[in-house]
A and B are shown apart, each in its own frame.
Chain A
């Protein structure tokens, strides 16, 4: 009876389909805007022409088809991957402050990139991508090996390994200007220019992992109630946990390797949706896959037009969109309600 007043939201079961419909419309709108807006504004009519009736001699068509369309696809994939990864790790750890990077993905990728740059291996975009994937997978495997028995230990192990990796790679960067130079460009997550790399493998990986997340979400519904309850409900807790962690690694690892570290999408999207989805993990995962891309596309569009001197990395925009949202949620509903 000392708890905060319980607000009376519209019942989740009626709200969820509405949110789903609104979300789909918003995603389409955000996609269209992200295709139209940029250094070179493209009228909406031309936009449709460029997609339906491509003319390779038209500059507008080239911009839309070769630069903005792949970038939009990349933004959708990265946004969905991070948001769903966040929904999974928060559900699995029952910790509202967990985000996918906590498993060592971000610092593992950063460490591999630093070492690669110091050895002169990180010259091309494709080699950077490779280093990022290898680093994040190795770091997560190590974290998992130490912390697999309990979720709390998993989070702590992630923090600990991240710290060690951060310290060592910082030491390397301070002694190697080349490594610092390459790292600082990667360390601010961005979609700019990344669409020109061959993204087939990461995109396919993200797509498969998203499908996997929707499948495992039903079992996570049981795990969310606690290991004991999950066990009595007949869920194989250990297997569900292992599969979920694998999915998180693929989602976050691929997104980080492609776009660099982008904070907050994975933290804030599941937060905003938790009250609406009222404990249903499949809905949380599904709506995260929808709202994550919207946030990402909006942020990326803002990043393109914010300063006329050049692009702002999208990670800065997501931080400044997501930070105030998190503060608002905490102030409105209290930290306990997270």
Chain B
């Protein structure tokens, strides 16, 4: 009885519900054949689809399926525009030719395609990181940038740029180190008798403010050219990303997102409060540690390649949960919304002041602000 893999085969019970004596055996053990699944007691009759897997089942919300299909369509559409758009528009024929290799095009296959892929991958990673932190802190404002990860990454990058005058690889390395050190600092300061979400947010704000002050000073002391480069890096950008830049992030993010998916049920169980989480069997400390690692890892990986892209982590989980009408702050809608948001923001950033390509962070900040204003408008309507 230490495992739930086969709970229904241990005791092919003939007891009727209600007459069993719990306590001597796993109380949930009865033969599945005696029970007729006429309706789906787990999640309502019309809003849910039952996906059978052997003699078990997965329940998927109808709206989640709609959202997945909708986001997939949006990604395909935006991706197609992204492949076509440039100094000169490519025709659909040229894009298909480049994708199938019939009509090779370096511009489409080597310049534009990695950028499109990066937008989807990084957007999803940031969305998941934001959803994880908002779940952990039980606070919609508890995103990685608020608790200092982005500021720490910026410090690392700034030190490399100003003190060591480093190249882009070392800047990436510096940013990862800066982000991880900050995360470790905030995490260890927030721990004492376990981790409290609110304490993590407040201490994150404090550390963030100190690091931001330090960053401002470093920018102030730098040469104007270096300062320009640093501020540009800090805005986050997908400019100039090629396939080589994506191999390592792709591998790291695949692992992290898989872990997040496998632990998502536990994450949502924790949303019922610490007491219920523990008493229903969530290993709370270990779970939090793991989730913080995944969230920090996602943020740091994206930051290393693209710089800190603001607001996706804050906005995507909140928009996603409204679109999915799902309880709590689910991960999948956050990932999908994040991917579409970043793709869209990157297209706007390329087109807005063409031929100058703006850092995508400028656009995501505006989108994030717009989202918050939309939130407010909703609250007005509710009153």
Contact = CB atoms under 8 A, between A and B. Distances in A.
Of the listed residues B192, B214, B228, B369, the one surrounded by the most CB atoms of chain A closer than 10 A to its CB is B369
Contacts, number: 138
Interface in A263-281: 263-264
A102 to B, nearest CB: 12
Contacts of B370: 160, 164
Of the listed residues A163, A177, A188, the one surrounded by the most CB atoms of chain B closer than 10 A to its CB is A163
A174 to B, nearest CB: 6
Nearest to B314: A163
A185 B210 contact: no
B271 interface: no
Interface string B178-197: 00000000000100100010
Contacts of A164: 365-366, 369-370, 373
B192 to A, nearest CB: 6
B133 to A, nearest CB: 16
A181 B224 contact: yes
A184 B213 contact: no
A44 B90 CA distance: 77
Contact of B202 (A174, A185, A335): A335
A316 B202 contact: no
B228 A177 contact: yes
B365 A187 contact: no
Of the listed residues B210, B213, B214, the one surrounded by the most CB atoms of chain A closer than 10 A to its CB is B213
A146 B192 CA distance: 40
Nearest to B368: A163
Nearest to A152: B379
B366 A312 contact: no
B371 to A, nearest CB: 8
Contacts of B53: none
B205 to A, nearest CB: 7
B292 to A, nearest CB: 17
B369 A315 contact: no
Contact of B369 (A167, A319, A326, A330): A167
B202 A326 contact: yes
A301 B212 CA distance: 21
B203 interface: yes
Contact of B363 (A167, A180, A334, A336): A167
A171 B372 contact: no
A163 B365 contact: yes
A173 B229 CA distance: 12
Nearest to B364: A167
Contacts of A327: 189, 203, 206-207
Interface string B341-383: 0000000000001001011011111101110110110011001
Interface string A166-201: 111011011101001100110110000000000000
Contacts of A159: 141, 372
Given A97-B205, A175-B353, A326-B202, A263 B369 contact: no
Interface string A284-327: 00000000000000000000000000001101100110111011
Given A174-B359, A185-B220, A336-B198, A316 B369 contact: no
Contacts of B379: 153
A335 B214 CA distance: 25
A338 interface: yes
Nearest to B370: A164
Nearest to A313: B217
A105 to B, nearest CB: 16
A239 interface: no
Given A160-B372, A316-B217, A327-B189, A174 B209 contact: no
A111 interface: no
B314 to A, nearest CB: 9
A168 B370 CA distance: 12
A264 B189 contact: no
Contacts of A326: 202-203, 205-206
Nearest to B367: A167
Contacts of A336: 198
B209 A263 contact: yes
A149 B380 CA distance: 9
B200 to A, nearest CB: 8
B66 interface: no
A323 B207 contact: yes
B228 A180 contact: yes
Contacts of B214: 316, 319
B311 A163 contact: yes
A161 B373 CA distance: 8
B202 A163 contact: no
A313 B210 contact: no
A-B pairs with lowest CB-CB distance, top 8: A167-B365, A163-B369, A160-B372, A164-B369, A319-B213, A335-B198, A323-B210, A335-B199
7 contacts: A146-B373, A164-B366, A168-B366, A177-B224, A180-B224, A185-B220, A323-B210
Given A164-B366, A263-B209, 18 more contacts: A97-B205, A156-B375, A160-B375, A164-B373, A167-B365, A171-B362, A174-B231, A177-B224, A185-B220, A187-B216, A188-B216, A188-B217, A263-B213, A316-B214, A319-B213, A326-B202, A326-B206, A331-B189
Interface of B: 141, 189, 192, 196, 198-199, 201-203, 205-207, 209-210, 212-214, 216-217, 219-220, 224, 227-228, 231-232, 235, 311, 353, 356, 358-359, 361-366, 368-370, 372-373, 375-376, 379-380, 383
